[in-house]
A and B are shown apart, each in its own frame.
Chain A
């Protein structure tokens, strides 16, 4: 699912040493902006995603909502989540959110992955899985705060949204952006999208009466390359489990990067210890042993301190 020809790589999972493409060329950070306030839930983006990525259709089931299926899947990377949300005054709102990989600036999936080159981050910010290097351990699932990577039990590999890295590499916008009929999806540089999003949020606050409107670009993971405009940015959880403060488990940061190498060093001290024991103390041999000729160095003469 990659486009290594045109996109430079900035980060590689489980890779020894520096990354060849890191900082070698100037590349703008890209971003997808999703304005949840103008999404009408038409699912054109879902169809465009399945079409462009040539994914096989699969059966799904009806769970009493308008949602296509309960969750994204290895062959269904983009899902409009339909949330019926009750306000404090008893009235209802229908909150629709386009759910897909957030392309985190600090991707938990990449940090968790133990396979060299199975996950890469391009210098434009897109996080992409390279299935040919994936070993199928699913640690990325555990590392991701948004529950995005999905396992295919037949291929034993994990798949997710690529932000159409193949199209972006060729100068096109992602397929979902092209398909959206209301213009609630935008694509451009991160700076431009951030500007547009903040503008729209202040318009919602000042003109439309959504006092809590704001932009979702969580800084706990260094920001994301997919950002939302929300009617109520104080409670993102209402939009179908969008975490207010997404976090990568400490196992994949502190433990993996710091204590793992130290721990291995500690275990290896056992090896150093036994070698040194043999050198300094020698073996315990079964008794009786042949008579000792000399001990080197000789013990200090009795009664004298040195």
Chain B
């Protein structure tokens, strides 16, 4: 049974029309230009905010980060703007992905078998795995709530004259914890989208993935966009040991 979380529905907007996505034989369209643009703006500003924040977080270790941004005072000036830009682009991304990030009963089942996912004991994902798997959704929602915490606590620290010293002292701890959790998560994110699951980064660079990637990592999505059964497609590919030749042109 296909759900709205199995398939990404998107009407091309002005940013999509600024670029293009070439889909070669044996590939499926995964992320349109708009999604990719937002993702990398998020990525750039996340790391700018992270590095400039580190210089203030543990200055006695990370003092070498502040000169990168023009010294301590400039780093302090820039950090909130990097953070706001990060939150701004992530907010657009959150709106873009709200439908496919909905939590479903399949996701709860996926979480119960997270051990098999980590130990790679199955060679392909469970057939219920849709456009994003439950791990990706968890990360997404962690970032959403992390951004809410960042903005509230960040504004309090930005304008201490208005909020007073006790609120600032509390905000400072929450802001740090939010950053630590997000940093912890990003290691997994970057690993899985590069070394951990080869072929994934292409989804965010060129915007396409191979059909084999799709039936391996997101079988329900594969089924929703091609109409074919992922297990059969895999069995057939095993027989021929080549990807199937006819790519459908839809998401």
Q: A142-B168, A283-B197, A286-B210 are in contact. Are A115 and B184 (CB under 8 A)?
A: no
Report the separation of the CA atoms of residues A269 and B185 in the bound assembly, to the nearest whole angstrom.
10
Q: How far is the CB of B148 from chain A (nearest CB, A)?
A: 20
Report the separation of the CA atoms of residues A255 and B177 in the bound assembly, to the nearest whole angstrom.
10
Contacts across chains A and B counted by CB atoms under 8 Å: 139
Report the nearest A residue to B161, measured CB to CB. Answer: A151
CB-CB under 8 A from A143, the residues of chain B are 165, 169
Give the size category of B's interface with A.
35 or more
Give the residue of A116, A142, A288 whose beta carbon is less than 8 angstroms from that of B237. A288
Chain A residues numbered 263-306 whose CB sits less than 8 Å from any CB in chain B: 263-264, 266-267, 269-271, 273-274, 277-278, 281-288
Q: Would A270 and B216 count as touching, CB distance under 8 A?
A: no
Q: Would A260 and B187 count as touching, CB distance under 8 A?
A: no
Q: Would B58 and A270 count as touching, CB distance under 8 A?
A: no
Report the separation of the CA atoms of residues A84 and B119 in the bound assembly, to the nearest whole angstrom.
73
A156 located at the interface, meaning its Cβ lies under 8 Å from any Cβ of chain B in the complex: yes
Chain A residues numbered 147-185 whose CB sits less than 8 Å from any CB in chain B: 147, 151, 156
**B163-197 toward A: CB 8 Å interface, digit per residue (1/0)?**
00110111011001100110111111011100111
CB-CB under 8 A from A16, the residues of chain B are 60-61, 63
B201 located at the interface, meaning its Cβ lies under 8 Å from any Cβ of chain A in the complex: no
Report the nearest B residue to A290, measured CB to CB. Answer: B241
CB-CB under 8 A from B199, the residues of chain A are 285-286
CB-CB under 8 A from A263, the residues of chain B are 176-177, 180
Report the separation of the CA atoms of residues A263 and B61 in the bound assembly, to the nearest whole angstrom.
14
B8-16, B70-78, B106-114: which lies at the A interface? B70-78
Q: Would A274 and B188 count as touching, CB distance under 8 A?
A: yes
Instruction: Describe B's contact surface by its main secondary structure.
Output: helix
A107 located at the interface, meaning its Cβ lies under 8 Å from any Cβ of chain B in the complex: no
Q: Would B196 and A283 count as touching, CB distance under 8 A?
A: yes
CB-CB under 8 A from B213, the residues of chain A are 286
B135 located at the interface, meaning its Cβ lies under 8 Å from any Cβ of chain A in the complex: no
Report the separation of the CA atoms of residues A114 and B79 in the bound assembly, to the nearest whole angstrom.
14
Q: Would A273 and B187 count as touching, CB distance under 8 A?
A: yes
Q: Would A14 and B215 count as touching, CB distance under 8 A?
A: no
Report the separation of the CA atoms of residues A144 and B218 in the bound assembly, to the nearest whole angstrom.
54
Q: Would A274 and B176 count as touching, CB distance under 8 A?
A: no
Report the separation of the CA atoms of residues A263 and B120 in the bound assembly, to the nearest whole angstrom.
29
B33 located at the interface, meaning its Cβ lies under 8 Å from any Cβ of chain A in the complex: no
- Known contacts A250-B169, A271-B187; 5 further A-B pairs (Cβ under 8 A): A116-B60, A136-B77, A142-B169, A156-B73, A267-B187
Q: Tell me the B residues contacting A by CB distance below 8 Å.
A: 56-61, 63, 72-73, 75-77, 118-120, 123-124, 157, 160-161, 165-166, 168-170, 172-173, 176-177, 180-181, 183-188, 190-192, 195-199, 210, 212-213, 215-217, 234, 237-238, 241
19 pairs, A vs B, C-beta closer than 8 Å: A138-B160, A139-B168, A142-B168, A143-B165, A143-B169, A151-B161, A156-B73, A156-B77, A251-B172, A260-B58, A260-B176, A263-B177, A266-B180, A267-B180, A270-B187, A281-B120, A284-B123, A284-B216, A286-B198
Closest 6 CB pairs of A and B: A249-B169, A270-B187, A274-B191, A16-B60, A135-B72, A286-B212
